[in-house]
Amino acid sequence: MSASLQKGLNALREVMDAPIASFFSSCVHCGMCADACLFFTETHDPKYTPIHKLEPLRRLWKRDYTLFGRLGKLLGLSKPLSDEELAQWSPLVYDSCTLCGRCSLACPVGNDITYMVRKMREGMSVAGHAPEGMISATKRTIEIGSPMGVKLPALQAQIRAQEKETGLTIPIDVQGADYMAVLSSMEIINFPEYLGALAKIFHKAGVSWTLSSEAFEATNSGIQIGASDIAREIVLRIVTAAEKLRVKHVISPECGHAFTALRWEGPNLIGRPYHFSVVHILELLDELRSAGKLKTVGKEDKPLTFHDPCQLVRRGGVVQQPRTLLGDVATDFREMSDPGILNWCCGGGGGVSANERADELRLTAFKRKKTQLDELGVHTMVTACANCRIMLEDGLEHYNMNVSVVGLTELIANHLEE
Amino acid sequence: MDAMQLLLWARGPALGIAFAIFLFGMLLRLFEIYSLGRNKDLAPPRSHSPGSGWRTVVMRSFSAKSMLKASMLTYVTGYTFHIGFFVVLLFLLPHIELIRSITGLHWPALPTPFIDLIAVASIIALIVALISRVMNPVKRFLSGFGDYLAWAVTLLPLLTGYLAYHHLLLDYTRMLAMHILSVELLLVVIPFTKLTHMATLFIARWYNGDWFARKGVAS
């Protein structure tokens, strides 16, 4: 057995816990998870059935963690996991799963399949079976500081541009501010207007906030690739910076996986609770709105809809806030089919967007979103995740669809009371 | 062994052995699960929601409309079979009598012709489920020996019960013995196949509901 395979198997043994054992014990092979997964519904290929993506993990559990499996192993009735098998599963675990969590809501016996895929990636990455694109993104995060290779000067340039645009100061490294905002590099490169929107909203609402020059990148490719040690390092950068500046809250940006990484996985990765709280920008906007500090004027009259980012809504619990906020600035907000916690993924979450190997499959899976949009006939889609936004724009362009995508925070900023 | 001897053996020693294997097997499976433990979640929950695991234990039986639509046949056969099986098991007079003789507990029975109808519905649901398992590409792809074994040992008690009640195929005594033996076969097989889900699904649903609720989502 190769050393990397041995390490991979050890990593898989490391993640084996009571929930996983209860999930594998309960699966009745009913196939409903397939009907909940966009990679199956848009391809009709049974190999994309979510529970099947975990077959190597299930075999390891059966062989090593059940009495019958162990007996079978002693008698030579079952084959050990091989490197080839893991390599064969790499596209299933990485390309055809965005960790969107829809199957975990569909499973009649209650299996959190998404949780298991996340855990299985721990073993896959150590065994050397993560896709090239995700490995590079993770390397860039460690070496340069961001998965897209964004460095501080790039951020500083965008800060200057947005300061000029808004006529406001964007604070950086302010000790004792209430809030520290972090960004995704997609926002720094593709959607810098998010930063300007924050400046405008916080100025109006009188929120004391800052950026940090030491930790401005919120995305965490360590979690997507399944490398807890790297994920821990990335989270620690933010934690260290926030605790150094002694802020009370850290604002997770419009990026779903960044929120999952910081809000739900972070404390578990570093082994302790934070000395600050993590709040998603939409949660904060909703709070400011309730406190009467966020007043908007004028409404969009064109019909618009909302794409629910999986990690923010289904796996993050920020369900009502975007709808309340949209209600303030739109007269004709229309829900697409399966809105809220049952909405369909953009196809590029969970690291799929960084994985070029998956591009074709991702665009095929996008047909699910296309169907939802075609049914609705609305030409403006609001969302609250920069990654979703890029993936949606890519899919819309690929299928020549006349739909524009808007970030919710920017939309709110455009309607601020002067 | 004549029919009466077989029946006596089935009702006596065999039942004890089957129950013992069932109990041992299920306790083993539960031990296999819980002995693995799990890490404490250090992320503060969105809100304290005690009982959320239990909520999902119950509510996962009632799916969202769009999920229902997507897997209609599986739901219909699943509901029909599961409800039917437990109605027959718990509300047929001879079953209640048996439970009473062992535990002293008893409750009113449902009219036998009604139970008969339910049994037929359950058998039909199981047959449709099997056809679907063979014809549906996903189910066929996922299925192995264990799935078909589980199907067969689940069908047998319903089928033999029906045949015994209607005095079909074999004489009543022999068919009744077959019925009891088929139940014992089911008991013995449950802990070592996917039929274990009869107990572990509550654990799985509980974890699912607990996690989702910590994040503020009712699953």
| Whether A167 and A283 share a structural domain | yes
Asked if pLDDT for residue A332 goes beyond 80, the answer is yes
What's the order of all strands across the beta sheet hosting A380-383? A305-306, A380-383, A404-407
Residues in chain B closer than 8 A to A27 (CB atoms): 194, 197
For residue B206, the chain A residue with the least C-alpha distance is A110
* Distance between CA atoms of residues A170 and A154, nearest Å: 15
Quote the longest CA-to-CA distance of chain A. Answer: 77
What is the per-residue pLDDT for A144? 86
- Optimal mutation site among B153, B202, B214, B217, interface A, most CBs of chain A within 10 A: B217
Instruction: Quick: pLDDT tens for A19-55.
Output: 999 999 999 999 999 999 999 999 999 999 999 999 9
Identify which of A352, A363, A353, A356 has the alpha carbon closest to the alpha carbon of residue A132: A356
Percent of chain B's residues with pLDDT above 90: 90
Q: What is the mean pLDDT of chain B?
A: 95
State whether A8 and A142 are in the same domain. Answer: no
- The answer to whether residues A189 and A154 touch, using CB atoms and an 8 Å cutoff, is yes
Identify residue A148 by its one-letter amino acid code.
M
CA distance B136 to B139: 5
Are A270 and A312 found together in one domain?
no
Task: Please indicate, yes or no, whether residues A110 and A166 belong to a single structural domain of this protein.
Answer: no
Are B46 and B101 in contact by the 8 Å Cβ rule? The answer is no
Q: Which of A129, A163, A189 is the last residue of a domain?
A: A129
Residues A251 and A284 in one domain: yes
pLDDT class for B109, splitting at 50, 70, 90?
A: very high
Rounded CA-CA distance A341/A322 in Å is 13
- Nearest to residue A329, comparing CAs of A253, A388, A416, A204? A416
A123 domain-assigned: yes
CB within 8 Å: B217 and A317? yes
Q: What's the pLDDT tens digit per position in B155-200? A: 999 999 999 999 999 999 999 999 999 999 999 999 999 999 999 9
In a domain, A224, yes or no: yes
Place A359 in a pLDDT band, splitting at 50, 70 and 90.
very high
> Any idea how long chain A is?
418
C-alpha–C-alpha distance, residues A27 and A22, integer Å: 9
Q: Which residues of A touch B62 (CB under 8 A)?
A: none
List Cα–Cα distances, A339 to A309, A310, A330, A335, B64, in angstroms.
Answer: 11, 11, 17, 6, 12
The answer to whether residue A182 sits within a structural domain is: yes
Determine which of A63-77, A138-152, B19-33, B51-65 has the lowest per-residue pLDDT on average: A138-152
Instruction: Compare CB distances from B138 to A31, A108, A111 and report the shortest one's residue.
Output: A31
Contact between A35 and B42 using a beta-carbon 8 Å cutoff: no
CA–CA distance, B86 with A383 (Å, rounded to integer)? 46
Residues A94 and A159 in one domain: no
Q: Does A71 touch chain B (CB under 8 A)?
A: no
Q: Which domain does A113 fall in, by range?
A: 3-129
Domain for residue A297, yes or no? no
In a shared domain, residues A231 and A96: no
Judgement on whether residues A157 and A231 belong to the same structural domain of the protein: yes
Among candidate residues A70, A96, A129, the one where a domain is terminated: A129
pLDDT at A102 over 90: yes
Residues in B touching A92 (Cβ below 8 Å):
none
User: Which residue in B147, B207, B210 has the most chain A C-beta atoms within 10 A of its own C-beta, making it the best mutation to test that interface?
Assistant: B207
| Chain B contact present for A314, CB below 8 A | yes
Minimum distance, in Å, between the CA of residue A270 and any CA atom of chain B: 9
Quick count: other Cβ atoms within 10 Å of Cβ A73? 16
Helices A113-126 and A55-65 pack at an angle, to 10 degrees, of 90
Using CA atoms, how far apart are residues A398 and A352, in angstroms rounded to an integer? 17
> Would you call A107 an interface residue with chain B, using a CB distance cutoff of 8 Å?
yes
Backbone angles phi, psi at A217, to 5 degrees: -90, 125
pLDDT digits (tens, 9 = 90+) for A274-290: 999 999 999 999 999 99
**Which residue, A100, A129, A158, sits at the end of a domain?**
A129
pLDDT tens across B51-71, in order?
999 999 999 999 888 888 889
Q: Are residues A286 and A326 in the same domain?
A: no
Q: What is the mean pLDDT of residues A234-253?
A: 96
Quick one: average pLDDT of A290-307?
95
Q: Count how many domains chain A has.
A: 3
Beta bridge mates, A404: A380
A343 has pLDDT over 80: yes
Q: How confident is the model at residue B49 (pLDDT cuts 50, 70, 90)?
A: confident
Q: What is the pLDDT of residue A82?
A: 95
Does residue A28 sit within a domain? yes
Residue B111, burial from CB neighbour count under 10 angstroms (0-12, 13-18, 19+): exposed
Provide the 3-class DSSP secondary structure of residue A230.
helix
- Mean pLDDT within B82-93: 97
CA Rg, chain B, in Å? Answer: 20
With bands split at pLDDT 50, 70 and 90, how would you rate the model's confidence at B214? Answer: very high
Confidence at A149, pLDDT banded by 50, 70, 90: confident
CATH of the domain at A55: 1.10.1060
Lookup result for tokens 């250090």: B42
Dmax over CA atoms of chain B, in Å, equals 67
Q: Are residues A281 and A264 in the same domain?
A: yes
Closest chain A C-alpha to B143 CA, distance in angstroms: 7
CA angle B63, A108, A55 (to 5 degrees): 140
Same domain, A104 and A202: no
Per the rule left: phi > 0, alpha: psi between -120 and 50, beta: everything else, A355 is beta
Taking 90 as the threshold, does the pLDDT of residue A228 lie above it? yes
CATH of the domain at A200: 1.20.1050
pTM for the structure as a whole? 0.95
CA distance B215 to A316: 5
The 10s digit of each residue's pLDDT in A168-198 is 999 999 999 999 999 998 889 888 999 999 9
Residues A107 and A155 in one domain: no
SS3 of chain A: helix, strand, coil, percent, to 5:
55, 10, 35
Task: Kindly state whether residue A296 falls inside one of the protein's structural domains.
Answer: no
Please give the Cα distance from B15 to B23 (Å, whole number). Answer: 12
Kindly state whether A268 is in contact with chain B, defined as any CB-CB distance less than 8 angstroms: yes
Residue A299 lies in a domain: no
From the centroid of its chain, how far is CA B69? 24
A300 within some domain: no
Compute the distance between CA of residue B69 and CA of residue B118 in angstroms, rounded to an integer. Answer: 24
Test A66 with B32 for CB contact under 8 angstroms: yes
List C-alpha distances in Å: A288 to A207, A283, A408, B29, B75: 9, 9, 15, 50, 44
* A278: DSSP letter: E
